Structure 1
């Protein structure tokens, strides 16, 4: 039979004291919450000071980067128009205001992305407008982009960009669509031309909404009609010019039934 069971107290040698487990004290809930609030306020206050009050994280430089395309504007022009406040806290930078100021001051700018380059820089990623046509004026030419926006005056037209001549006839077409709409539609015709045709197009002459004529190099003319179905018309014209190389007059106003004739 098993002997009597001895307790841990009985197993202890004489003179040996029992170990006392450590006592863990917890802060009262209110005290803990108060401590956490003090810590949060301290961290938040330091963060606010670092962002707004210290010499850290302040705007020290502005850089300009460009997308592919025209680069007529200088970096100095862009930086000056942007008006980024050097020395101001980075956190106070109003990116929307900088963007709007650039677009207003420099119509040649099509879009701009204002980026904080932490800790102390601001980057301006600029895309400039590209001329789709030149519109003659009394003192030179207006550059007009694919959206129909006239954004700059220049003394000379660049090679390879068509002139847009508006010889609008008074009548139902002008009353219905208006000059601005007709101009925008004519620009859409230029934008639809493949590079091979665009390079040969000297003038896009417009008499009404549906009376657009292309004047190409070598005395070749193309009756285009309206800006509708411009992609199909460009495709039909390209094929017809290859098939009838000696033709001087083309008609693609109805792209499914193009025509060509000699002089």
Structure 2
């Protein structure tokens, strides 16, 4: 006996069951428009974020640069005012080097008007000119020393001779003939230039006085000159030395030292290669 048949299943002959293929993203394999649109949206968002981030960084950098520039300008203005116009860096101390007490007082007087002025605005050239005009000063240099000082370095003139003047007094002069001071009595420690009035002759006589070696200068009681090439020395023993010009003083002094043992009354070393003596 046959078992009862189950429900009948209809199967279509010649057709396969329908199946929809999908891509990895879950969209149908035949459509690519969906993922492309999403990718473009993501890329657009990323680009926007990058632009916004870069723009913000640039603005921050610009703000920082502006603030730094303002601060720097303010510092420069404040610094310029402090250095050039305030009393913070004003001149308070004057240091003088190479000067005697008398010259030092004169130098300080020449700088006195600058004390209290901002150091940057002190006219060192003008101060140097005022100091150089002091009779005892041969040269002077003036330099700033921060924060509040100037240093004055002085080379003083050296007295080498005393010159009689028309009033009966005496002028103490240096090697260039500049008068350092006047006096009513003749200093005994300086060579005496006597009876010389013509300027060129006087300059030659003073130049000779400045170059005589100490041992010879100690024997000279007076120097005279009728011209720049005719300077004469009067020695303590009464002899006369015809010195000539102020040129070649070392050679003339050496030649004269060799001739003095002759005890002559006149020595002529004006041409030291051909010296002569007479008398004695």
Give TM class, smaller chain.
0.7 to 0.9
Q: Partner residue of 1:182?
A: 201
Pick from 198, 222, 228: which aligns with 1:209?
228
1:256 aligns with 2:256: no
Pick from 73, 92, 110: which aligns with 1:60?
92
1:161 aligns with 2:190: yes
TM (norm. structure 2) is: 0.70
Matches within 5 A, 1:85-234: 85-104=114-133, 106-137=134-165, 138-167=167-196, 179-234=198-253
Pick from 63, 70, 79: which aligns with 2:108?
79
Q: CA shift at 1:36, angstroms?
A: 4.9
Q: Output the aligned Cα RMSD.
A: 2.6
Rg (Cα) greater in structure = 2
Q: 1:149 & 1:141 partners in 2: Cα distance?
A: 13
Q: Partner residue of 1:13?
A: none
Q: 1:234 & 1:64 partners in 2: Cα distance?
A: 38
Deviations along 1:196-249, whole A, 9 cap, x unmatched?
A: 1122222111122332110122222211122333332122112222xx253343
Provide the aligned length of Structure 1 versus Structure 2: 225
On the 8 A contact 2:164/2:195 being kept in 1, the answer is no
Q: CA shift at 1:29, angstroms?
A: 7.9
1:260 and 1:28, CA in 2 relative to 1: closer, same or farther beyond 3 A? Answer: farther
3-state SS of paired residue (1:83): helix
TM (norm. structure 1) is: 0.74
On the 8 A contact 2:196/2:202 being kept in 1, the answer is no
Q: 2:278 & 2:135 partners in 1: Cα distance?
A: 43
1:29 and 1:148, CA in 2 relative to 1: closer, same or farther beyond 3 A? Answer: farther
On the 8 A contact 1:161/1:199 being kept in 2, the answer is no
On the 8 A contact 2:241/2:267 being kept in 1, the answer is yes
3-state SS of paired residue (1:219): coil
